[in-house]
Amino acid sequence: MKETDLSKYNNSWFDEGAGIIKRTIWFFINGICLMNPLNPFSGLKVRTLRLFGAKIGKGVVIKPSVNIKYPWNLEIGDFTWIGEKVWIDNLDKTVIGKNCCLSQGAMLLIGNHDYKSTTFDLMVAPITLEDGVWIGANSMVIGGVTCKSHSVLSVNSVASSNLAEYSIYRGNPATKVKERYIH
C-alpha cells in the first residue's frame, strides 16, 4: 500500500470520535461484555454495540472474546458472523457487509505508524468488507483495504491491498490464487 492511500494524523491531535468519558465506559463494557470468554449471548453484545453507536443489521452473530476498539466507527450488515477472538481495531470507519464471516482470530487493523517520520505519526484509513466476504482464521486486513464482494482471504494471510470480487487470496502479502464460484 502506498503511503498516499492513508490519512495521516499526528498522535497529539488524533480524534477518537468520542469523548474521554464515553471511551472509558466503553473500555470497561468491552472487557465485560464482548471480550469476556464466558459471555455466549450474541444478542446482548449486539444491543450493547448499538447502544454505543454501532450500526448492526439483523441476524448478526458475535462469538465470545471479540475485541472492538470503537463501536461508533462500526457498521455490520445482516447475517454476518464474527468468530471467537476477532479483533476489530477500528480507529476509523469499518464497514462489514451482509453475509460476511470473520473467522476465529481474524484482525481488522486500521492503525499504523509512519516509520519515516521523527514523530512516528499515526496513520489510519477505513476498511470495507463488501457483502459475502470471508476472512479466514488468524488473517489480517489492514487500513485502506477494500475486500470486494464475495472475496476470500485464506487462513493466516495478510490483505495489504484490495481483494477482487469472487476471488480467493492467500499468503503474506496475500495474492490471488483462484476464482471463487458459489453454487
DSSP 16-51: -SS-HHHHHHHHHHIIIIIS-TT---HHHHHHHHHH
17-177 sits in which CATH class? mainly beta
The predicted pLDDT at position 18 comes to 85
**Cα gap 142→124, rounded to integer Å:** 9
Which pLDDT band, with edges at 50, 70 and 90, does 62 fall under?
A: very high
The predicted pLDDT at position 6 comes to 47
pTM for the whole structure:
0.90
The predicted pLDDT at position 17 comes to 82
The predicted pLDDT at position 4 comes to 42
**Cα gap 60→99, rounded to integer Å:** 9
**Cα gap 92→109, rounded to integer Å:** 10
The predicted pLDDT at position 114 comes to 84
Write out pLDDT tens, residues 74-132. Answer: 999 999 999 999 999 999 999 999 999 999 999 999 988 888 888 888 889 999 999 99
Between 102 and 18, residue with greater pLDDT: 102
* Total residues belonging to the chain: 183
Greatest pairwise CA separation for the chain in angstroms: 52
Buried residues in 96-114 as b, exposed as e (16+ CB within 10 A): bbbbbbbbebbbbbbbbeb
**Cα gap 11→48, rounded to integer Å:** 29
Which pLDDT band, with edges at 50, 70 and 90, does 3 fall under?
A: very low
Write out pLDDT tens, residues 134-179. Answer: 999 999 999 999 999 999 999 999 999 999 999 999 999 999 999 9
**Cα gap 11→39, rounded to integer Å:** 34
pLDDT higher than threshold 90 for residue 46: yes
Cell of 88: 476489530
Residue 68: burial class (beta carbons within 10 Å; 0-12, 13-18, 19+): buried
The predicted pLDDT at position 12 comes to 53
